[in-house]
Amino acid sequence: MASDYSATPITMDNINPKVLKCEYAVRGEIVSIAQTLQQNLKDNPGSHPFDEILYCNIGNPQSLAQQPVTFFREVLALCDHPSILDKSETQGLFSADAIERAFQILEQIPGRATGAYSHSQGIKGLRDTIASGMEARDGFPADPNDLFLTDGASPAVHMMMQLLIRSENDGILCPIPQYPLYSASIALHGGTLVPYYLDEQTGWGLEISELEHQLKTAKSKGIDVRALVVINPGNPTGQVLGEANQREIVEFCKKEGLVLLADEVYQENVYVPDKKFHSFKKISRSMGYGETDISLVSFQSVSKGFYGECGKRGGYMEVTGFSPAVREQIYKLASVNLCSNISGQILASLIMSPPKVGDESYESFSAEKEAILSSLARRAKTLEEALNSLEGVTCNRAEGAMYLFPCINLPDKAIKAAEEAKTAPDTFYAKHLLNATGIVVVPGSGFRQVPGTWHFRCTILPQEEKIPAIVSRLTEFHKKFMNEFRG
Amino acid sequence: MASDYSATPITMDNINPKVLKCEYAVRGEIVSIAQTLQQNLKDNPGSHPFDEILYCNIGNPQSLAQQPVTFFREVLALCDHPSILDKSETQGLFSADAIERAFQILEQIPGRATGAYSHSQGIKGLRDTIASGMEARDGFPADPNDLFLTDGASPAVHMMMQLLIRSENDGILCPIPQYPLYSASIALHGGTLVPYYLDEQTGWGLEISELEHQLKTAKSKGIDVRALVVINPGNPTGQVLGEANQREIVEFCKKEGLVLLADEVYQENVYVPDKKFHSFKKISRSMGYGETDISLVSFQSVSKGFYGECGKRGGYMEVTGFSPAVREQIYKLASVNLCSNISGQILASLIMSPPKVGDESYESFSAEKEAILSSLARRAKTLEEALNSLEGVTCNRAEGAMYLFPCINLPDKAIKAAEEAKTAPDTFYAKHLLNATGIVVVPGSGFRQVPGTWHFRCTILPQEEKIPAIVSRLTEFHKKFMNEFRG
């Protein structure tokens, strides 16, 4: 029986409607059902036709048994409890370069105070390290004063939306399909998402003609389009942009006076030999565009890559091409929340300055990295092939990131059944999949898609030894589903 | 020479005006000047009449050499690098109960994955621990499902403002003086701050008649007042509310249909024997008000107390008296940012379940705690007496929290000089103080104050051995300042 809250003041009718409008499917209804099923399995083993829930809904590698990178965790532990650094037992427990790195990092923190609020943009010494790492990656200078360290990339995205969006007349160009952080943040800040469609036929191609068309359409409706979001490598789509395409995108932003918001959190997740990650900063600078020519924000996170340290909530944005006065406003936004967590800050510096040849940890670190990335590449390929072998399913390859986003050609009868169940056809499919197999995916409608097409997002993260079972369960389910709903 | 950003699209004229309106003085102009002076001292020792900058602007204990609590850091380090838990050397480096606690915590984390995103409200087992700690504190039940773990308390405050504020017609009653997070958050979410003045004459008393008066005035202007913010112990004012006063406040919120937003982050910082902290939850429940009678949110943080772990960004809110449907919306807001950092979550559970009698760490833990709290009490008293001995300065005692907020009766000539310098008189005073002594305080105008009165906020956090020098520098400066500007 529901309790009676009629004596309390806050109701669904009087909360902020922007909150109501916001959606975040990655942790939505399907996940709630999965959590209930998981509890069922715990309370009543054998109560379902599967013995575990496989969370393929979210890019959360360590929840699926990926182990943390040893060197990173050694340094974090030592920075958390620096008083053991001088003890002899410590040398037996930790690698020499981790101990040395912890000492270096403590030197960079004013007063060695890992428990103090830092500078609102993050500890200066750590930003220096990150900037050096970016310079080594790009071959162009990076300024530590351009870096804002944040608790994961999400708060950085919110900060930029807060800065740019004044009203619903302000628009942000976003890819469709998109990572729902963008639609959620735009909704919360009261702006308008201006969609541009990635072309599924050409491997989720990003066509400038489509950008131009959508910009023109938005302008004709009185929308002031302020920024272009590009996710590269793509989420949920997994494509890696080509260099020539990136140059066109930079040119488009320059010409149209748009801020380029580059989500580059999957920069270390590229699985195919014919593609390579290039930061938009590198592309812009190589085109001759400098600090005052183009406004560019790049987002990075410790949650992705081969390290997958989602729980540490480390990340940052590099902000270039904004006047000092506007930069002051971004600094003010950062300072209202004081600073991001110091462990996350330290980890953000570590991913941009991993062990080098000659360091004690170098070989074990490189082996861990290579094992994770090569396994992810194999899993991506196996799952892609399995999906493409299903009736009515087509799936572009995951060139990068952590996801596959197959298109399902659903039978009319399934679409009608979904309508009757008052749910989207892809949600209908995902629920059936979950109930039959324990596999959790996110319906494509959570990411938006070309109207009338249906997809789901599935991570490539389950442990490699479980992939064959997943493939057979998925295949079996899909056959049954299609047989049940075929015309 | 400033660079020319005229080719970039974002200017001070076209950013979100809510961002422009937001102010956060705790990290504002005075702190920027202090950072410049600090750099000067480093580059040119002896260039100023002091040899270090004393940051009394912010409640950041570890930045002023307060050491972290050993037990907490032991557990955090072990959870960061669990693979050393079984090693024999570990027993020589860590206390037995820290090792045991780390094992317990890992058991509470699904898959022992400290690097995974958790449940959006925080790891369930850690919320269970926190809820037990609250029950022990209050003598009333606490539900782990009511807890939302956040990166410090600030994001929790933002979340509630985001939920409650629909437009500038929505008002939030806030104490004046207030902690500027509230004014900043209300400005960013586009609401109206409805001030109620604390009575300096009665030790920053919170009068119900003042609440009634201000509510009525706001209503007459068409403001829909939605919530009352109470900071207890007070920031920047340091008062601890009496139990009878808290009951009146609860009754007022109940009668007027307001959400009670209780900032209780200084709950462990009470320094006077005649006052005690009572949570508003305990007060409400002891009055017979249950879950469906009153809407109450309590904020807590790992940054304050005796631990002062600001850099860990741990915190939470307890949300009671909201319907399941509204709670779902709060959950959705939490889920957009996935989860708070796991180290901060672990620390939040530790502060609510410290070592107990019989545990190996109990005595050393208790000694560390007692040393910090008793020293803070002594520092508060010494600084309060010193301030009260200054000409034209009156200062209420710091019963709790980490601040003193003295009133300065500035000479007319100083006020005129400030006007000429186009700055507020208390900012004028604070700048002179900084330039003469290196002491950084925050002008009262950053917290708001009764018009025509002038204050500053000064933390009680400098190391105890430095307090005498601070007192003499402050006293000497104040005499000179008053002599210079006396009529």
Is there a single domain that holds both residue B139 and residue B26? no
B24: nearest CB among A292, A326, A332: A332
pLDDT digits (tens, 9 = 90+) for B217-233: 999 999 999 999 999 99
* Residue closest to B31 by CA, chosen among A105, A320, A117, A341: A117
Say if residue B175 is in the same domain as residue B293.
yes
CA dihedral (A17, A18, A24, A25) positive or negative: positive
Give the sign of the dihedral formed by CA B371, CA B375, CA B376, CA B378: positive
Residue B389: how many other CB atoms lie within 10 Å: 12
- Please answer yes or no on whether A163 and B16 come within 8 Å at the CB atom: yes
Biggest CA-to-CA distance, chain B: 73
In a domain, A11, yes or no: no
On the question of a cis peptide bond just before residue A177, with omega within 30 degrees of 0, the verdict is yes
Q: Mean pLDDT over residues B139-167, rounded? A: 97
pLDDT of res. A2: 56
Residue B2, in any domain of the structure? no
What distance in Å separates residue B205's CA from the closest CA in chain A? 27
Long-range contacts of A137-142 (CB under 8 A, 24+ apart): A137/A279, A137/A282, A138/A279, A138/A281, A138/A282, A138/A285, A139/A282, A140/A281, A140/A282, A140/A285, A140/A286, A142/A281, A142/A318
One domain for residues B129 and B167? yes
Angstrom distances, CA of residue A339 to CA of A124, A343, B313:
12, 12, 8
Does residue A44 sit in the same domain as residue A103? no
- DSSP label of B236: T
Question: pLDDT (tens digit, 9 = 90+) per residue, A353-384?
Answer: 999 999 999 999 999 999 999 999 999 999 99
CA distances from A290 to A254, A256, B343 (A): 12, 17, 39
Calculate the CA B357 to chain-centre distance: 30
Contact A109, A123 (CB under 8 A): yes
Q: Which residues of A touch B226 (CB under 8 A)?
A: 9-10
Last residue of a domain, one of B294, B317, B351: B351
Same domain for B77 and B174? no
To the nearest whole angstrom, how far is the Cα of B408 from the nearest Cα of chain A? Answer: 27
Chain A CA closest to residue B189: A189
* pLDDT per residue as tens digits for the range A9-43: 999 999 999 999 998 877 778 988 998 999 899 89
Secondary structure (3-state) at A280: helix
CATH number for B465? 3.90.1150.10
List of E strands, A303-370? 315-320
Chain A residues close to B18, C-beta within 8 Å: 162
Cα dihedral A107, A111, A112, A113 sign: negative
Whether a cis peptide bond, with omega within 30° of 0, leads into A144 is: no
Could you give the CA distance from residue B220 to residue A177 in angstroms, rounded to a whole number?
48
CA atoms within 13 A on the CB side of A77: 30
Which residue do the tokens 């009634």 mark? B212
Q: Collect all residues with Cβ–Cβ distance below 8 Å to B311 and sequence separation of at least 6.
A: A113, A114, A115, A116, A117, A118, A339, A341, A342, B62
Location of structure tokens 């272009």: A228
Whether B7 and A292 lie within 8 Å, measured CB to CB: yes
Q: Is the pLDDT of residue B241 over 90?
A: yes
Structural domain that includes position B243:
117-351
- Residues A334-358 have pLDDT tens digits of 999 889 999 999 999 999 999 999 9
- B115:A185 CB<8 A: no
Same domain, B408 and B448: yes
User: Which of B113, B102, B100 has its CA nearest to residue B78?
Assistant: B102
Reported as a single tens digit per residue, the pLDDT across A397-451 is: 999 999 999 999 999 999 999 999 999 999 999 999 999 999 999 999 989 999 9
pLDDT tens digits along A286-312: 999 999 999 999 999 999 999 999 999
* Residues B146 and B285 both lie in one domain: yes
| Cα B137-A343-B186 angle, rounded to 5 deg | 65
Number of domains into which chain B is organized: 3
Q: Going by C-beta distance under 8 Å and a sequence separation of 6 or more, which residues neighbour residue A273?
A: none
Per-residue confidence (pLDDT) for residue A28, from 0 to 100: 77
Question: A9 lies in a domain?
Answer: no
What CA–CA distances, in Å, run from A428 to A36, A176, B328, B369? Answer: 17, 21, 22, 56
The residues that bridge with A458 in the sheet, in sequence order, are A404
Confidence of residue B261 (pLDDT cuts 50, 70, 90): very high
The string of pLDDT tens digits covering residues B384-439 is 999 999 999 999 999 999 999 999 999 999 999 999 999 999 999 999 999 999 99
Looking at residue B270, which CATH number applies to its domain? Answer: 3.40.640.10
pLDDT value of position A26: 72
Query: Strands, DSSP E only, in A198-295?
Result: 224-231, 259-263
Q: Rounded to the nearest 10 degrees, what angle do helices B412-420 and B467-485 cross at?
A: 90
Nearest CA-CA distance, residue A458 and chain B, Å: 17
Handedness of CA A173, A179, A180, A186 (dihedral sign): negative
Edge to edge, the sheet with strand A170-176 lists A147-150, A315-320, A296-301, A259-263, A224-231, A170-176, A192-197
Cα separation, A295 vs A323, in Å, equals 9
Q: How many CB atoms lie within 10 A of CB A286?
A: 16
Are residues B212 and B92 located together in one domain of the fold? no
| Helix, strand, coil percent content, chain A, rounded in steps of 5 | 50, 15, 40
The DSSP code for A67 is P
Question: Residue written as tokens 């940890």?
Answer: A361
- Judge: B341–A339 Cβ closer than 8 Å, yes or no: no
Q: Kindly provide the b/e burial profile for residues B199-228, where b requires at least 16 CB atoms within 10 angstroms of the residue's own CB.
A: ebeeebbbeeebbeebbeebeeeebbbbbb
pLDDT given at position B330: 96
Judge contact between A368 and A349, C-beta under 8 A.
no
Using a pLDDT cut of 70, give the percent of chain B over it. Answer: 99
Alpha carbon of B75: minimum distance to chain A alpha carbons (Å): 9
On whether the CB atoms of residues B346 and B105 are closer than 8 A, the answer is yes
Question: What pLDDT score does B2 carry?
Answer: 56
Asked whether residue A98 falls in the same domain as residue A123, the answer is no
- Give the Cα separation of B267 and A26 in Å (integer): 36
Report CB contact under 8 Å: A341, B344.
Answer: yes
Is A55 part of any domain? yes
User: B323 vs A12: CB contact, 8 Å cut-off?
Assistant: yes
Residue A439, in any domain of the structure: yes
Q: Are residues A331 and A307 in the same domain?
A: yes
Separation between Cα atoms, residue B317 and residue B23, nearest integer Å: 24
Which CATH number belongs to the domain containing residue A79 in this structure?
A: 1.10.287.1970
Final residue of a structural domain among B115, B150, B184: B115
pLDDT for A104 beyond 70: yes
Cβ <8 Å between A338 and B93 = no
pLDDT at A190 over 70: yes
Tokens standing for residue A80: 């958390």
B472 Cα to chain A: minimum distance (Å): 25
Distance CA B80, CA B59 (A): 27
Note whether residue A1 is domain-resident.
no
Tens of pLDDT, residue by residue over B15-44, are 999 999 998 877 778 988 998 999 899 899
Q: Any idea what DSSP says for residue A81? A: S
Mean pLDDT of A182-211: 96
**CB proximity list for B450: less than 8 A, separation 6 or greater:** B176, B197, B200
Name the percent of chain B in helix, strand, coil, to the closest 5.
50, 15, 40
Q: What is the rounded distance in angstroms from the CA atom of residue A8 to the CA atom of residue A6?
A: 6
Residues of B in contact with A162 (CB under 8 A): 16, 18-19, 188
Q: CB–CB of A338 and B3 under 8 A?
A: no
CA-based nearest residue to B309, from A287, A397, A342: A342
Token pair in block for residue A358 = 């000659």
Q: Are the CB atoms for B307 and B338 separated by under 8 Å? A: no
**In a mutagenesis test of the A interface, which of B71, B337, B342 is the best target, namely the one with the most A β-carbons within 10 Å?**
B337
Distance from CA of A486 to the nearest CA of B (A): 36
Q: Inter-chain contact B113–A83, Cβ cutoff 8 Å? A: no
Identify which of A272, A273, A299, A294 has the alpha carbon closest to the alpha carbon of residue A284.
A294
Q: In this predicted structure, what is the pLDDT of residue B29?
A: 84
Contact of A314 with B343, CB cutoff 8 Å = no
* Structure token pair of residue A218: 């938005």
Is the domain of B102 the same as that of B125? no
Residue B360 lies in a domain: no
CB contact under 8 A, A343 and B80: yes
DSSP string for residues in B153-197: SHHHHHHHHHHH--STTEEEEEEES--HHHHHHHHHTT-EEEEEE
Identify which of B155, B289, B167, B162 has the alpha carbon closest to the alpha carbon of residue B223: B167
Q: What is the pLDDT of residue A1?
A: 44
Question: Are A10 and B115 an interchain contact pair (Cβ–Cβ within 8 Å)?
Answer: no
Task: Output B3 or A304, whichever has higher pLDDT.
Answer: A304
Flag whether A360 is in a domain.
no
pLDDT tens, position by position, A249-268: 999 999 999 999 999 999 99
The DSSP 8-state label assigned to residue A199 in this structure reads B
CB contact under 8 A, B117 and A292: no
Q: How many CB atoms lie within 10 A of CB B378?
A: 14
* Contact status, residue B287 vs residue B253, Cβ threshold 8 Å: no
Q: What percent of chain A has pLDDT over 90?
A: 93
- The answer to whether the Cβ–Cβ distance between A292 and B3 falls below 8 Å is yes
| Residues B111 and B124 both lie in one domain | no
pLDDT score, position B437 = 95
| Residue B474 in tokens | 């402050």
**For chains A and B, what is the number of CB pairs under 8 angstroms?**
307
Report pLDDT for A386: 96
pLDDT band of residue A143 (cuts 50, 70, 90) is very high
Half-sphere exposure of B219 (CA within 13 A, CB side): 9
User: Which residues on chain A are in Cβ contact (under 8 Å) with B338?
Assistant: 27, 152, 154, 310
**Domain end among A300, A324, A351:** A351
Nearest CA distance, B233 vs chain A (angstrom): 20
